[in-house]
Chain A
Amino acid sequence: MSALEPLVIAALLVMAGATLLMRAGGFWVMGRVPLTPRVRRMLEALPGSIVAAIVLPVVAKIGPAAALAVAAAAAVMVLRRNEFLAVAAGVAVAILARSAGV
């Protein structure tokens, strides 16, 4: 443990503030936009859209092992509805796929 420089403390606080602004900002803004049926449909589509937008490019970047892992995890999740088992299956498939040279 070392003493913190004043500018390091400033950097940590600024990063914390920027993160907090994002976390609270969207919720705050939506309170000032009227919740029409269209806005509601947009908000309903948002969660799955965020997940898809995060996952697909990452899978494409990592390659076929990630695609197999994701497919295996989704299959286990559909069949068993157990997050733990599904994540474990996905990671195991990735390890197997790589040792098989995929």
Chain B
Amino acid sequence: MIDDRPGAPPFWSAAGFAQGVRLAAPAMPVMALFGVAFGAFAAQKDVTLTEAALMSAFMFAGASQFVAAEIWAHPMTVAGIATLALVTATVNMRFFLMGASLRPWLGGLPAWQTYPALSLLTEPGWLIALRYRAEGGADCAILLGSGVALWLIWIAGTVCGFLLGALVTEPQRYGLDVVMPVFFIVVLVPLWRGPRRAVPWAVAGVVALVAAQLLPGSWYIIAGAVAGAITGGIHDERA
């Protein structure tokens, strides 16, 4: 977990950027694969190659890009843009919470060092940074380095996927549909700090499961995450 007490004061260096690129290496195949999957998906929808590549470059947020490609239409209308904006904000609301979770670590740094890195925040990049921080690291350029590396892979994967198009028609056969949950579980393991600290996770998971049945779209992620955070807040450390 993010914990300032044992951690050194934050700083920012070129060496940290390079280390961020290296730490992102294990996540790159998965990122490339997701990029290919998005590109292939977009190719089957009313999205051009330029549009798909620009979505990946501008948004860098897979789940919301899938939804956007699904409802993308030519000619584009103002009502269509409003829908896209709302859907994008909702699906990407988890970034809001991820950014909040980085405050204790990055809070002391000047804005020009934190916001560029935050603008490339993704799940793998965030998890890489969390793990690095949990192991005692303090160099915030890790976040930017991994972000830039994953961003470039994501765009390249999108273009390749679009061109390969119809090759990924049966994602289940190759186990591609389980890649996302598997990747998340793998990065959860290093965050383990004993069963007491995992109580909020269990609450978050159960609330999300129930919320997924009751709420539309991706709201269950927000509901579960907020429930977990509140549990963590009322859970007394010494009890």
Most B Cβ at <10 Å: residue of A12, A23, A98: A23
Q: Is the CB of B101 within 8 A of A24?
A: no
Q: Is the CB of B104 within 8 A of A40?
A: yes
13 A–B contacts from the bound complex (CB under 8 Å): A7-B75, A47-B2, A48-B228, A49-B204, A49-B224, A49-B231, A55-B181, A55-B185, A55-B205, A58-B181, A59-B181, A84-B29, A86-B186
Q: Is the CB of A95 within 8 A of B228?
A: no
Contact size range, B: 35 or more
Q: Is the CB of B188 within 8 A of A51?
A: yes
A52-B204 contact, Cβ under 8 Å, with A41-B232, A46-B225, A74-B186: yes
- Which of chain B's residues 192-225 have a Cβ closer than 8 Å to chain A? 197-198, 200-209, 211-212, 220-225
- A42 neighbours in B (Cβ, 8 Å): 229-230, 232-233
Asked whether any CB of chain A lies closer than 8 Å to the CB of B14, the reply is: no
Asked whether any CB of chain B lies closer than 8 Å to the CB of A78, the reply is: yes
Contact residues of A: prevailing secondary structure: helix
Q: Is the CB of B107 within 8 A of A73?
A: no
Chain B 90-123, CB-CB to A under 8 Å as 1, else 0, gives 0011111111111110110000001100110101
- Which of chain A's residues 61-87 have a Cβ closer than 8 Å to chain B? 61-62, 65-66, 69-70, 73-74, 77-78, 81, 83-84, 86-87
- B229 neighbours in A (Cβ, 8 Å): 42-43, 45-46, 49
Chain A 7-26, CB-CB to B under 8 Å as 1, else 0, gives 11011111111111111111
Asked whether any CB of chain B lies closer than 8 Å to the CB of A54, the reply is: yes
Q: Is the CB of B107 within 8 A of A53?
A: no
Q: Is the CB of B106 within 8 A of A27?
A: yes
- Which of chain B's residues 32-57 have a Cβ closer than 8 Å to chain A? 48-51, 54-55
Chain B 170-183, CB-CB to A under 8 Å as 1, else 0, gives 00111111111111
A55 to chain B, nearest CB (A): 5
Asked whether any CB of chain A lies closer than 8 Å to the CB of B130, the reply is: yes
Partner pick for A27 among B78, B103, B200, CB 8 A cutoff: B103
- Which of chain B's residues 68-96 have a Cβ closer than 8 Å to chain A? 68, 74-78, 80-81, 84-85, 88-89, 92-96
Partner pick for A83 among B60, B84, B186, B208, CB 8 A cutoff: B186
- B123 neighbours in A (Cβ, 8 Å): 54
Q: How far is the CA of A18 from the CA of B114 in the complex (A)?
A: 18
Minimal Cβ-Cβ distance residue in A for B236: A41
